[in-house]
Structure 1
Amino acid sequence: MQTAAAEAARLPKGFTAPPVPRRNPTRRPDWLVAYLFLAPAAAIFAAFIAYPLADGVMTSFTDQVVGRDGSFIGFANFAKLLSDPHFQRAAVNSLLLTTGVVAVKLVIGLACAVLLAQKMPARGLVRALVFLPWAVPGLIAGLSWKWIFDEQAGVLSYLVLALGITDQPVYWLSDPRIAMLSIGVAMVWHGLPFFTMMFLAALTAIPGDLNEAAAIDGAGPIRRFFAVTLPQMKEVIFVTVMLSAIWTFNSFHMVFILTGGGPAMRTHILPTLAYDYGITQSQLGLGAAVLVSVIPVFFILIVLLTRRMLASNK
């Protein structure tokens, strides 16, 4: 084994080896400091997220009702839901509403972002007006659209009658054939600014020399958009779509305010059906089972979103 003197003899003349840092025995380990900083957030997560989630999962395996403790019944609630036509309809409504609303917001939001990125008079004012619905609380937005869709005093019914489109009132929220479409319109209006803001930020971050080089090569505006702009925005588009899908699938206030799941429970989505079973009908175990049944969907979406966001940060 070479001694320290032999190692020092091999060093160039005039070179002094740096001193070996000595570990301070009183210094806390880095992992301990990290856990100390994470402790408050972990306590809040356990109190307001982990505990309610665990309690909801346990309740879904019981026959608990309001005012009485339930007994363990295993998967009976889930078996009942599988044969429940209202649950089946709510699941289909949730899937169709999420797919349709997110797709419309994606297309219109991308178009709005491209337009707002152009130079125009009063561009700041136009952007503020486009982003305004995102600042409106969900409760206020729902009540506003409930008034717009009102069959008797709503502005939309007045317009279609005044323009001669129809001579009969349109039952926007009472007709099962168009009630879900009306809900989708309100949800698109409220969530569209989020897509526009995300896409506009992504557009402004694209280096201008990429489009200039494509233009020099003879690419037109449409070809530059699909060959240069969209590939540069794919990460932002993916994250925005995934976040919106999670929020839309789990949305409650808009459906609850506009229709309450009616008419005849035709517009229920899974969150409002869980409220109807758990609160209105006092079947807490069955209502909890409705929400627990969608946990795998959210888990898959969150895993995909997290993996993509971590991959984009590498």
Structure 2
Amino acid sequence: MRLETLNEGAAKTAVRGETPTRWLSRALVSDTSAAYAFVAPAFFLLLFLVAYPFVLSLWFSLSDARVGETGSFVGLDNFRRLLGSSIFIQTLQNSMVFTAAALGLKTVLGMALALLLFRVARFKRLIRGAVLLPFIVPTALSTLVWWWMFEPMYSVVNWTLKSLHIVNHDIPWLPDPYLAMCTVVLVNTWRGLPFFAITLLAGLVSIPRELYEAAESDGAGPVGRFWHVTLPLLQPVLAVVILFSAIFTLADFNIVYVLTKGGPMNMTHLFATYSFALGLQSGQVGQGAAVSLFLFPILLGVVFVQLRLVRQSTTL
């Protein structure tokens, strides 16, 4: 249809004395203009929702702005105060531990779940749909259910453990600093596991069966086929999944805020929760914005490393 239109247009322009080359260039210019016109709404939407808040946050981080006050320019004072704050250093450590632990668990468990789903033959559509439920349910709502499960007074987990005579006392899942970190890592892993499993499952489906048959004919067992066929071919997919999950995990807010609000003793504060506590709850907008901007170079480094890994894996 497009080719016929171009031929008809070229014939008409030839009658008018216009060369086909000039007509074609004019048509391409109009198509390019149309493309820009279609992209423009999305561009301006991103400009308004991403670029403007980022620039505004950058200004706030360089000022002593407080809630209800515009503030004045103070340079890098907010960043110096944060680097000298023990709570911020603790938040930085918490964010690294939280992200590394959650990513490790999601990678291992997500791969195992993807392999399991790949081998399921009966009711596979129903099972794969059910696996997505933790990712579909609103984060705040599902995390509130987890809070009920671990909250000391109503903890169904403690009740189950005591009923099975595994423990004889209530375990302080949320009041204990170290158990609280384990709890938020567990909930984040549960929340992000479907993303890993379904994406890796899509990668598994795309691997040609002939490669497995060739490896099996060479004497490779299940472990050998996984290490020499599955894992190398899944590296590009795995790198992209880890990249997106690292960004989402490092910037997590809902899970930690609903479960612990950064406590106890600031042992579960992440960048997002500490920025919220400083900027909105304490009214120190400048320092809160400075905390959020500390995420930018970290995420930039993560993206750079992961994209290099993706490029290397695709060129092998």
Q: TM-score, normalised by structure 2?
A: 0.88
Q: Deviation string for 1:91-117 (max 9, x for gaps)?
A: 111111011001101001101111111
Aligned to 1:195: 196
Higher helix share: 2
Q: 1:58 to 1:95 in 2, by over 3 A?
A: same
Alpha carbons of structure 1 residues 306 and 47: separation in structure 2 relative to 1, 3 Å: farther
Tell me which residue corresponds to 1:23: 22
For 1:21, the aligned partner's letter is P
Structure 1 residue 45: Cα displacement:
1.1
What is aligned with 2:267? 266
Q: Which residue of 2 aligns with 1:14?
A: none
Match of 2:73 in 1: 72
What is the CA distance between 1:76 and its match in structure 2?
A: 0.3
Structure 1 moving runs of 4+ over 6 Å: 307-314
Counterpart amino acid of 2:206? A
Match of 2:12 in 1: none
Aligned-pair CA distance for 1:306: 5.4
Gaps of 5+ in 1: 1-18
Query: 1:276-310: CA deviations, max 9, x gaps?
Result: 00011000000000011111112233345556668
Cα offsets for 1:169-225 (capped at 9, x unmatched)? 111111112100011111111110110001111111100000001111111111011
Residue 59 (str. 1) matches residue 78 (str. 2): no
The reply to whether residue 291 of structure 1 matches residue 295 of structure 2 is no
Residues in 2 aligned to 1:222 and 1:34: alpha-carbon distance in whole angstroms: 49
Match of 2:137 in 1: 136
- For 1:126-205, list aligned pairs within 5 A: 126-205=127-206
CA distance in structure 1 between the partners assigned to 2:303 and 2:35 by the alignment = 25
Conserved? CA contact 1:152–1:169, under 8 Å: no
Aligned equivalent of 2:5: none
Which residue number in structure 1 is paired with residue 215 of structure 2? 214
* Greater shift in the superposed pair: 123-132 or 301-310: 301-310
CA RMSD of aligned residues (A): 2.1
* Change in 2 beyond 3 A, CA 1:175/1:34: same
Report the Cα distance in structure 1 between the residues aligned to 2:21 and 2:309, rounded to whole angstroms.
Answer: 41
Say whether the 8 Å CA contact 2:239–2:310 is kept in structure 1: no
Q: Secondary structure at the match of 2:291?
A: helix
Give the 3 Å change call, closer, same or farther, for CA 251–119 of structure 1 in structure 2.
closer
CA distance in 1, matches of 2:52, 2:303: 19
Calculate percent identity across the aligned residue pairs.
36
The one-character-per-residue Cα deviations of 1:36-92 (angstroms, maximum 9, x if unpaired) are 222111110111110000000110000000011101000000000001011001111
d(CA) in 1 for partners of 2:302, 2:30: 36
Secondary structure of 1:107's counterpart equals helix
Structure 2 runs not aligned, ≥5 long: 1-17
Amino acid at match of 2:22: R
Q: Distance in 1 between matches of 2:26 and 2:119?
A: 60
TM-score, normalised to structure 1, is 0.88
Q: 2: CA distance between counterparts of 1:199 and 1:211?
A: 17
Deviations 1:98-142 (A, max 9, x none): 110011010011011111111444333332332221111111111
Alignment partners' CA distance in 2, 1:49 and 1:159: 46
* Residue type at the aligned position of 1:100: A
CA offset digits 1:142-161 (Å, max 9, x no partner): 11110111112121111122
Q: Is the 8 A contact 2:117 2:201 kept in 1?
A: yes
CA–CA separation in structure 2 for the residues paired with 1:51 and 1:302: 22
Aligned to 2:35: 34
Question: Which residue in 2 is equivalent to 1:44?
Answer: 45
User: Structure 1 residues 261, 226: closer, same or farther in 2, change over 3 A?
Assistant: same
2: CA distance between counterparts of 1:101 and 1:26?
A: 54
Q: Partner amino acid for 2:95?
A: S
Residue 311 of structure 1, CA deviation: 8.2
Q: Evaluate the alpha carbon distance shift between residue 125 and residue 35 of structure 1 in structure 2; reply closer, same or farther with a 3 A threshold.
A: closer
Q: Kindly provide the CA deviation profile for residues 12-36 of structure 1, in whole angstroms up to 9, marking residues without a partner as x.
A: xxxxxxx963313865355544332
The residue number in structure 2 matching 1:94 is: 95
Relative distance call for 1:119 and 1:264 in structure 2 (3 A) is closer
Size of the aligned set, in residue pairs, is: 296
Choose 1 or 2 for highest CA Rg. Answer: 1
Q: Distance in 2 between matches of 1:292 and 1:119?
A: 45
Contact 1:133 1:190 in 2 (8 A): yes
Distance (whole Å) between structure 1 residues aligned to residue 229 and residue 205 of structure 2: 13
Indicate the SS of the match to 1:62. coil
